[in-house]
Amino acid sequence: MTALRRTLNLARPDDVYNAIVDAHKGLTDEQCRDFDARLILLLVNHIGDEAVIREALKEAAAK
Amino acid sequence: MSSYEYRHYPYRRPPELDGKGRRRPVAIVGAGMAGPTLALELAARGVPSVVLDEDDTVSIGSRSICQAKHSLEVWDRLGIARRMVDKGITWEQGEVYLGDQAIYRFNLQPEPGHKFPAFVNLQQYYVEEYLYERCLSEPAVEMRFRNKVVGVTPHADHVAVEVETPDGRYTLEAEWLVACDGVRSPVRHMLGLPFEGEVFHDQFLIADIRLLDDLPKERRFWFYPPFHPTNSVLLHRQADNVLRADFQLGRDADAEEETKTENVDRRLRLMFGPEARWEHEWTSVYTFTCRMLQRFVHGRVIFAGDSAHVVSPFGARGGNGAIADVDNLAWKLALVVTGKASEALLDSYCSERRAAACENILNSTRSTDFITPKFPASRAFRDAALTLAPDFPFARALINSGRLSVPTQQPESPLDTPDRDGDWVGGPGPGRAMLDAPVGNGWLIDRLGHDFSLLTFGNDDVGTVPSGATAVPIAGNGLAWQRYDSRPGTTYLIRPDRYVAARWRTYDPAAVSTALDRATGRSHA
CATH number of the domain enclosing B185: 3.50.50.60
Considering the domain boundaries, does residue B381 fall inside one? Answer: no
d(CA B507, CA B273): 64
Query: Which residues of chain A does B385 touch, with a Cβ-Cβ cutoff of 8 Å?
Result: 41
Average per-residue pLDDT for chain B: 93
Beta bridge pairs of residue B170: B163
Q: Which domain holds residue B457?
A: 438-519
Considering the domain boundaries, does residue A33 fall inside one? Answer: yes
Q: Does A58 touch chain B if contact means CB atoms closer than 8 Å? A: no
Considering the domain boundaries, does residue A13 fall inside one? Answer: no
DSSP B43-79: HHTT--EEEE-SSSS--SS----EEEHHHHHHHHHTT
Q: What is the pLDDT of residue B460?
A: 74
Instruction: Among B345, B361, B377, identify where a domain stops.
Output: B361
pLDDT digits (tens, 9 = 90+) for B76-117: 999 999 999 999 999 888 899 999 999 988 888 778 899 999
pLDDT band at B525 (very low <50, low <70, confident <90, very high): very low
Residue of B nearest to A46 (CA): B394
Say whether pLDDT at B524 is over 90.
Answer: no
Q: What is the mean pLDDT of residues B413-431?
A: 93
pLDDT band at A1 (very low <50, low <70, confident <90, very high): low
Considering the domain boundaries, does residue A56 fall inside one? Answer: yes
B375/chain A closest Cα distance in angstroms: 12
CATH number for the domain including B464? 3.40.30.120
In chain B, % of residues over pLDDT 90:
82
Q: What is the pLDDT of residue B1?
A: 64
Radius of gyration of chain A (CA): 13
* Choice between B314 and B135, residue whose per-residue pLDDT is larger: B135
Cβ(B445)–Cβ(B81) below 8 Å: no
Query: Which residues of chain B does A36 touch, with a Cβ-Cβ cutoff of 8 Å?
Result: 380
Contact B387 A40 (CB under 8 A): no
Q: What is the mean pLDDT of residues B161-186?
A: 97
**Amino acid at the residue A44:** V
B16 burial class (0-12, 13-18, 19+ CB within 10 angstroms)?
middle
Considering the domain boundaries, does residue B162 fall inside one? Answer: yes
Contact A38 B388 (CB under 8 A): yes
B94/chain A closest Cα distance in angstroms: 24
- Count of structural domains within chain B: 2
The closest alpha carbon to B485, from B464, B500, B469, B497, belongs to B500
Q: What pTM, to 2 d.p., does this model score?
A: 0.94
Indicate whether B53 and B143 sit together in one domain: yes
Angle (CA) B151 B153 B154, round 5°: 145
Say whether pLDDT at B382 is over 70.
Answer: yes
Residue of A nearest to B380 (CA): A34
Q: Which domain holds residue A58?
A: 26-62
Q: Does A53 touch chain B if contact means CB atoms closer than 8 Å? A: no
A18/chain B closest Cα distance in angstroms: 23
Q: What is the mean pLDDT of residues B287-311?
A: 96
pLDDT digits (tens, 9 = 90+) for B116-127: 999 999 999 999
- Count of structural domains within chain A: 1
B398/chain A closest Cα distance in angstroms: 10
Q: Does A33 touch chain B if contact means CB atoms closer than 8 Å? A: yes
Say whether pLDDT at B499 is over 60.
Answer: yes
Query: Which residues of chain A does B380 touch, with a Cβ-Cβ cutoff of 8 Å?
Result: 33-34, 36-37
Q: What is the pLDDT of residue B477?
A: 75
Query: Which residues of chain A does B395 touch, with a Cβ-Cβ cutoff of 8 Å?
Result: 41, 45
ipTM: 0.96
Considering the domain boundaries, does residue A53 fall inside one? Answer: yes
Q: What is the pLDDT of residue A2?
A: 63
Considering the domain boundaries, does residue A32 fall inside one? Answer: yes
Considering the domain boundaries, does residue B276 fall inside one? Answer: no
